[in-house]
Amino acid sequence: MPAAAVTRLAKGLAAALAALRHAHSWRWLTYGIAVGLAAGLAASAYFVSVEYLQTYLLRGLAGVTLPSPAGEHLFEMQPGVYRPWLVPVFTSLVGLLTGFFIQRYIPETIHSGTDGTDATTRVFHRGAGHMPPRVPLIRGLASILTIASGCSAGREGPIAQICGGIGSWIAQKMKLSARERRLLLLAGAAGGLGAIFRAPLGGALTAVEVIYREDFEAEAILPAVMSSATAYSVFSFFFGTEHILSAPAFQFKDPRELIFYAVLAVVCSATGLMFVSTFRACKNRLFAPVRERLGIMWTLGLGGLLAGSIGAVFPQALSGGYGWLEMAILGQVPALMLLAMLLGKTLATSMTIGSGMSGGMFAPALMVGGLSGGLVGEAAHALWPNIALEPGSYVLVGMAALFSGIAKAPIGPLIMVCELSRGYGLLAPLMLASALCIALCRRVSLYDNQVETKFDSPAHAADATVNLLEEHTVRGRFTPRIPPVLEAGSTLGVIADLMRNSEGKSFPVRDACGRIRGLLDIDRVRGLVFEKALFDLVVAGEIMGPLYYVTPEEDLYAALLKFVESGYAQLPVFATAQADEGEAELLGMLDRRAVFEAYASGMHRVRTLQEQGDLVVPQPLPPPLSTCKV
């Protein structure tokens, strides 16, 4: 092709892209499709990897045969010699390997939240939609090994994080704004959920509502729906359209049965409370002290050992558990076994996710809810068989009810179950049970990073006010000289000398490779500098805080949010946003006072204009009633 033709083609594409950036609806449709294509491919690869490794490790090597649901029977393999003792060996090794990579490459994710869904929620609210690619890559690979080795965890949380990371990466490459980056983050998560669960509408709605307790992200609905539908289509191209669970088309026919579904909601609320309480007790009381003493690697190794040991004795607690859930729907599991599976799944999941291993809470929560519903259905059918005709329907309703209650996401799980049950025959019981569970579980929350409404989220902090700081950037507001940089091994005595001889309030700390890894704020060591006995014992790497930084092109509002979140008096200024990889040049320090001075100056200008009648400041409107959850 002649060079002139290539040049014209390139200019035409550039013009088309530029026009697309200004066509709002079409632009988001295109973004949603692009993210959905990538999410569908990622979900397909993830699904195959988990299924093959799980078949090879558990069935082939350990000889443990688990039932497969109708939509997930991919690989045939003859069972090996029955060696259940291999399961805790697998899970312990996976825990140690996961801990090593987390500690080495992504230590900032140790406290990122409950699971991948919660970590994605944190990125939306507090990370400006920016997810470093290494985080979903490492966490995603670790979750494949976690689930395949037998640890009790689900695929939905990791795939939401992986595909959310894809959406964030695409937005970064296209140089979109922080708001648009957040929306593509949710679109990616929706695509992953819709594909892996084979419920495109339920996946899209869950992604946009799970980030809030009493709200949902209305702006993200269009790209989320397009992404989920596209990802589901890609996934179905490889694996067909069969649902995960083989569930009959249940129908609600007798209004008297609503009494039993109300009882189901009470039972699911109680088991939901038990599920969350057990998880948090294991996380905070068992594994947190171990992590403080031994580090993340040995903590995850212990979590894998405990989870694998439970699975070796009680195979029903292994992996995701959808096969057992399908058997419960079909009435093939006795009531006593339902109860045992409920308790075993709760404990095994708490050991797996509570220790910090990679995996999702979505599938275990659905299983616990389904088993709780199965218990109520079996009891109702035994006592009133002419009213409670189909105990399996209670399993499906219990799945949606429990997750809605503890995750504060009533619409998405309800639609997912409707998609699983091939219709809306259970719509009335689903709505009743979900609403009651939400009311009864008001003080219970599975996810740490959910906020109440948009107005409680840093992502929407500027929506209700005039943001004066967005008019100014960091450039020209920071002190352009290299500050003193501490070595991670610098002792408290060195730190005390530096504090006496420097006017700085926060000091960067670098590791042995010369990469800045954290900040030491004088307020953190103010109480230690008078303890001379500690001068040679305490080093900077032990008392430094996490690394927060800004770049010259960031606006002062973004800098203010980082000051508020970190509590630092000063932040380092790097030439580019690659400081986490150690590739950016340190330019100087931004003082918190400079941000306040810029704000005061802006306020003075606004008031002057108001007095002259040249400026009318709009008053914030109350949130529309249409954005509130039912």
Could you tell me if 337 and 277 lie in one domain? yes
Asked if the structure places residue 627 within a domain, the reply is: no
The domain boundary residue, chosen from 417, 444, 460: 460
Q: SS in 3 state form for 40-73?
A: HHHHHHHHHHHHHHHHHHHHHHCCCCCCCCHHHC
Distance CA 601, CA 469 (A): 10
- For residue 565, give the CATH number of its domain: 3.10.580.10
| Cα 549 to Cα 570: distance, rounded to the nearest angstrom | 9
Q: For the residues 51-74, what does the mean pLDDT come to?
A: 89
175: in domain = yes
**pLDDT tens track for 424-446:** 788 899 999 999 999 999 888 89
Length of the chain: 630
Two structure tokens written together for 103: 């500690």
Q: Does the pLDDT at position 142 exceed 50? A: yes
Instruction: Give mean pLDDT, residues 252-281.
Output: 94
Task: Provide the pLDDT confidence category of residue 75 given band limits of 50, 70 and 90.
Answer: confident
Domain boundary among 440, 460, 480: 460
Q: What is the β-pairing status of strands 516-521 and 506-510?
A: antiparallel
**452 & 487 share domain:** no
With beta carbons less than 8 A apart as the criterion, state whether 547 and 521 touch: no
Nearest CA to 261 out of 367, 376, 182 is that of 376
Q: Tell me: do 455 and 537 sit in the same domain.
A: no
Choice between 576 and 344, residue whose per-residue pLDDT is larger: 344
Residues 6+ apart with CB under 8 A from 222: 25, 28, 29, 32
* Residue 13 belongs to some domain of the structure: no
Spatial distance between the Cα atoms of 275 and 438, rounded to a whole number of angstroms: 15
d(CA 244, CA 221): 25
Domain co-membership, 449 together with 528: no
The contacts of residue 59 (CB under 8 Å, 6+ apart) are: 65, 66, 77, 79, 80
Whether 275 and 133 share a structural domain: yes
Q: Which of 428, 460, 492 is a domain's end point?
A: 460
DSSP string covering 238-287, please? Answer: HH-S--SS---------GGGHHHHHHHHHHHHHHHHHHHHHHHHIIIIII
Sheet holding 486-487, edge to edge: 486-487, 506-510, 516-521, 545-546
Phi, psi of 445 (to 5 degrees): -140, 130
* Domain-embedded: residue 3: no
- What amino acid occupies position 471? E
For 100-139, the pLDDT digits (tens) are 999 999 998 888 888 889 999 999 988 888 999 999 999 9
Q: In this model, does residue 240 exceed pLDDT 60?
A: yes
Please report where in the chains the tokens 């929620």 appear, as a residue.
Answer: 121
CA 606/CA 616 separation, integer angstroms: 9
Q: Where are the alpha helices (DSSP H) in 284-423?
A: 288-294, 296-313, 322-329, 335-355, 362-383, 391-407, 411-420
Determine phi and psi for 410, rounding to 5 degrees: -75, -30
| Residue 249 belongs to a domain | yes
pLDDT reading at 23 higher than 60 = no
Give me the pLDDT at residue 108, please. Answer: 87
Q: What is the CATH number of the domain that holds 135?
A: 1.10.3080.10
**Claim to verify: residue 344 and residue 235 sit in the same structural domain:** yes
Q: In total, how many domains does the chain have?
A: 2
- 369 and 475 both lie in a single domain: no
Average pLDDT over the chain reads: 85
Q: Roughly what angle, to the nearest 10 degrees, separates helices 24-54 and 3-20? A: 100
* Percentage of the residues of the chain whose pLDDT score is greater than 90: 48
The alpha-carbon radius of gyration of the chain (Å, integer) is 26
Query: How far is 446 from 411, CA to CA, in rounded Å?
Result: 17
Q: What sign has the CA pseudo-torsion 371, 207, 565, 605?
A: negative
pLDDT band at 150 (very low <50, low <70, confident <90, very high): very high
Is residue 228 in some structural domain?
yes
Instruction: Decide if 2 is inside a domain.
Output: no
Question: Whole-structure pTM over 0.75, yes or no?
Answer: no
Structure tokens that stand for 123 in this block: 């990125």
Quick check: 159 pLDDT over 90? yes
Same domain, residue pair 223 and 268: yes
Domain of 547 in residue numbering reads as 467-612
Residue 42 in contact with residue 163, Cβ under 8 Å? yes
Residue 378 lies in a domain: yes
Alpha carbon distance 475, 575 (integer Å): 10
The pLDDT confidence band at residue 614, using thresholds 50, 70 and 90, is very low
Q: Which residue has the tokens 């998609």?
A: 419
C-alpha–C-alpha distance, residues 347 and 278, integer Å: 7
pLDDT given at position 14: 59
Read off φ and ψ for residue 313, nearest 5 degrees: -85, -35
Q: Classify burial at 431, counting beta carbons within 10 Å of its beta carbon; exposed 0-12, middle 13-18, buried 19 or more.
A: middle
Tell me the two tokens of residue 31: 């973004």
Judgement on whether residues 39 and 116 belong to the same structural domain of the protein: yes
* pLDDT confidence tier of residue 626, bands split at 50, 70 and 90: very low
By CB neighbour count within 10 A (0-12 exposed, 13-18 middle, 19+ buried), where does 427 fall?
middle
Residues 327 and 368: beta-carbon distance below 8 Å = no
- Predicted confidence at residue 627, as pLDDT, reads 36
Residues 510, 554 within the same domain: yes
| Per-residue model confidence as pLDDT tens digits over 373-420 | 999 999 999 999 999 989 999 999 999 999 999 998 888 888 888 887
Cα–Cα distance measured from residue 87 to residue 312, given in angstroms and rounded to the nearest whole number? 6
The per-residue pLDDT for range 580-604, each reduced to its tens digit, is 656 678 888 898 888 888 877 777 6
Same domain, 454 and 486: no
CB within 8 A of 537, min separation 6: which ones? 491, 492
Q: What is the dihedral of CA 606, 611, 614, 617, to 10 degrees?
A: 50
Q: Are residues 437 and 536 in the same domain?
A: no
